[in-house]
Structure 1
Amino acid sequence: MKIAFYGSSLLSTYWNGAATYYRGLLRELAGRGHQVVFYEPDAFDRQKHRDIDPPDWAEVVVYDATPDALAYVVGEAAYADVVVKASGVGVFDDLLLAGTMAAAAPRAVKIFWDVDAPATLAEITPAPDHPLRRALPDLDLVLTYGGGPPVIAAYEAVGARVCRPIYNGLDPTTHHPVAPAARYACDLNFLANRLPDRERRVEQFFIEAAARLPDHRFLLGGSGWDDKPLPANIARLGHIGADQHNAFNGSPRAVLNVARDSMAQVGFSPATRVFEAAGAGGCLITDAWEGLELFLAPGEEVLVARDGQDVAEHLASLSVERAHQIGEAARRRILAEHTYARRGAEVDTLLRRAFDLKRERSLT
């Protein structure tokens, strides 16, 4: 099937944490015989910070952030068997949703793919006239980055026909162990862009832990942190390209994951960083959230913290040997149960079932 996918960016992770998620899933779908065309706007300097060239498994159409360019790419939806509008494109989101779904052929499977479902639901649930709320009854599927049973129930309560979480995963050809890099050596690192609904938790889990351990070295990667007051033992690295993630995740004693507010509250939403760090053999310390044990076993494959004090206590007692054991255990679990190959197979089944169902309905 031909898939027209309208998202933030496939080529750049710059202010775009969903990029590796899109890459892992769409590469698998292409490997299963689907023709993928990814439409992304030239916006937010992402094209100046590309991590990859256009891959051989997808056609990438970069369009200007103008009404004329929007009209052209919207019209392209008419030629697809599957039309996907992702959340958080950042340019003309409502117009993209309405336009692509209106342009889609009657036979086409129409999907909204939400990479921040808890935040989206908080916005649309009290707003019956929200463009997405109005669109939901006509969509064949809502797929989400995570969220588990709470997100399924919430989406179906506001009009989605079918909602299915498609969790992050690991592409072992992209994220894997590499030799440690001296520039990334530290006791604990954290990689995330500075966002309003994450900053308080970063202060609580990362900055507080650093303040409690002044003799330990911490590294902070990601965009937006330049003017953030930090303890002297935290070094800022700025944006770190995807080609550096393996070294960044495999060089420190431990790697920190901190969920955004909404995802921490809902649970069942492991970030890409969880799988990428595990794939590189990193010892992960994560904030606590419901559903974690579905992905990694606390105390054996991941260390769990309730606050910065817990993070500091984990670090203070964490030997290099134990960190290695935890990282390797996590890597084995993720490779066995949580690869993008598995996620791609799940999406492939959903697409083919939805397409066959539409065809059957058209014949009756």
Structure 2
Amino acid sequence: MNRPLSIVFIGLSVSSSWGNGHATTYRSLMRGLASQGHELHFIERDVPWYAEHRDLPDPEFCKLSYYENADEITRFEKEIVSADAVILGSYVPDGQLVIDRVARMQPRLFCFYDIDTPVTMAALDRGEETFLARRQVPFFDIYYSFSGGEVLTRLERDYGAQRAEALYCSVDAERYRPTGEAIEWELGYLGTYSPDRQPVLDRLLLEPARALPDRKFVVAGSQYPKDIDWPDNVDRIDHLPPEEHPSFYSRQKFTVNVTRADMVAAGWSPSVRLFEAAACATPIISDRWRGIEEVLPEGEAILLADDTRQVIDWLCNSTREERAAIGNSARDRVLKNHTGEARARELVATLRDAGAGTSHYAKAV
């Protein structure tokens, strides 16, 4: 019988979900791992923004520690060296320095979890190495990628990854489910502002709102510029903590999924919001990208929109039964394949295949 694994995560943040989707991704995965008996330690940089907006300062599923700067990561050397695996995430502040310092400690298994893979690859192609240097990609025993499909081949062939594995985001099925509340909004969106997403949000939500001024819409998320011309019938919520997400989704007739441009170009990059909305059985209207139908089939479990007219047509002409069929189909698929428990099993299987939990060994980096 396999013994539980000890895993150290070094990531952007698990304590605060303000302005980042990493926290909900880590929380779902780590709850899944903890439910299967694994021992977890999450280490994050103590930065003012997250320190001022912590909505999970004492997680029940892991030990949580903070460090002040890249040099201070050495405080955790004993735990890093003794862990079965160390998983360092994308967008860690001063990530290059942290990676080099951890690599010198020679952890038993050293892995990277890229929750922004297409963005990372585009940055490396431009010569930008803010949190990961191209020379460091081969350091990792396994490069876990938020994106699957062709991206995995490119990571190994073009960037030198030893082994690339898809590790999609996931949803906490215990926390994300339909609440049964009355519909309040025709269409909603949850996501932090991003300049490359905004034109698509305009096309799929703001323009329909302008065309249907007697109906209510909503956009939740932080960091939106003050000069955006929000229609009067669009409610704005600056921040929505994760515990309020199910209620938010359940009060929408439809919800919009909008994908960053680099991820559209790469394909196979389902966001955590996609899985969360589906788990709440809220019918989803999404932009189109390669691989999305492998997650949620078009017309059966999701609607893919190319223009404003399609969105208006669905809002005005779909029946309750049609919407319920799409939402329930998406929920069934996500609960089967994309929960935190399912993702935890995938992660552990690849870690064990790479040697975690067996005899300890030394390796040169």
Is the TM-score greater than 0.5? Answer: yes
Structure 1 match to 2:247: 247
Structure 1 residues 281 and 44, CA, compared in 2 at 3 Å: closer, same or farther? farther
Q: Report the residue type matching 1:191 in the other structure.
A: L
Structure 2 match to 1:266: 266
Deviation digits for residues 173-206 of structure 1, max 9, x if unmatched?
A: 1111113267xx1100001011223222222322
Matched, 1:235 2:232: no
Structure 1 residues 94 and 197, CA, compared in 2 at 3 Å: closer, same or farther? farther
Matched, 1:4 2:47: no
Q: In structure 2, what is the Cα distance between the partners aligned to 1:345 and 1:21?
A: 15
Secondary structure at the aligned position of 1:196 is classed as coil
Deviation digits for residues 287-309 of structure 1, max 9, x if unmatched?
A: 11111121112112111101333
Q: Report the residue type matching 1:137 in the other structure.
A: P
Structure 2 match to 1:202: 201
Runs of 4+ off more than 6 Å: 360-363
- Deviation at residue 335 of structure 1 after TM alignment: 1.5
Does structure 2 retain, via aligned residues, the 8 Å contact 1:4–1:38?
yes
Structure 1 residues 342 and 246, CA, compared in 2 at 3 Å: closer, same or farther? same
- Deviation at residue 143 of structure 1 after TM alignment: 0.1
Does structure 1 retain, via aligned residues, the 8 Å contact 2:71–2:98?
no
- Deviation at residue 320 of structure 1 after TM alignment: 3.0
Q: List aligned pairs for 1:328-343, cutoff 5 A.
A: 328-343=328-343
Structure 1 residues 274 and 128, CA, compared in 2 at 3 Å: closer, same or farther? closer
Structure 2 match to 1:138: 139
Does structure 2 retain, via aligned residues, the 8 Å contact 1:212–1:309?
no
Does structure 2 retain, via aligned residues, the 8 Å contact 1:207–1:231?
yes
Matched, 1:88 2:91: yes
Q: Which has the higher contact order (CA 8 A, sep 6+)?
A: 2
Q: In structure 2, what is the Cα distance between the partners aligned to 1:200 and 1:34?
A: 42
Structure 1 match to 2:106: 104
Q: List aligned pairs for 1:62-73, cutoff 5 A.
A: 62-64=66-68, 66=69, 69-73=72-76
Aligned length: 356
Structure 2 match to 1:39: 43
Secondary structure at the aligned position of 1:253 is classed as strand
Deviation digits for residues 208-227 of structure 1, max 9, x if unmatched?
A: 22223222211010002251
Structure 2 match to 1:192: 191
Deviation digits for residues 3-62 of structure 1, max 9, x if unmatched?
A: 111111112210111211111112222233321100112225223322334222210112
Secondary structure at the aligned position of 1:306 is classed as coil
Structure 1 length-normalised TM? 0.90
Structure 1 window deviating more from structure 2 (219-228 vs 46-55): it is 46-55
Does structure 2 retain, via aligned residues, the 8 Å contact 1:74–1:99?
no
Give structure 1 stretches of 5+ with no counterpart.
none
Identity of aligned residues (%): 31
Q: In structure 2, what is the Cα distance between the partners aligned to 1:225 and 1:262?
A: 20
Does structure 2 retain, via aligned residues, the 8 Å contact 1:51–1:243?
no
RMSD: 2.4
Structure 1 residues 155 and 273, CA, compared in 2 at 3 Å: closer, same or farther? same
Structure 1 match to 2:119: 119
Secondary structure at the aligned position of 2:185 is classed as coil
Q: In structure 1, what is the Cα distance between the partners aligned to 2:266 and 2:314?
A: 25
Structure 1 residues 251 and 70, CA, compared in 2 at 3 Å: closer, same or farther? same
Structure 1 residues 136 and 75, CA, compared in 2 at 3 Å: closer, same or farther? farther
Structure 2 match to 1:30: 34
Does structure 1 retain, via aligned residues, the 8 Å contact 2:284–2:303?
yes
Structure 1 residues 73 and 181, CA, compared in 2 at 3 Å: closer, same or farther? farther
Structure 1 window deviating more from structure 2 (268-277 vs 124-133): it is 124-133
Structure 1 residues 330 and 60, CA, compared in 2 at 3 Å: closer, same or farther? same
Matched, 1:21 2:22: no
Q: In structure 2, what is the Cα distance between the partners aligned to 1:229 and 1:358?
A: 58
Q: In structure 2, what is the Cα distance between the partners aligned to 1:54 and 1:307?
A: 44
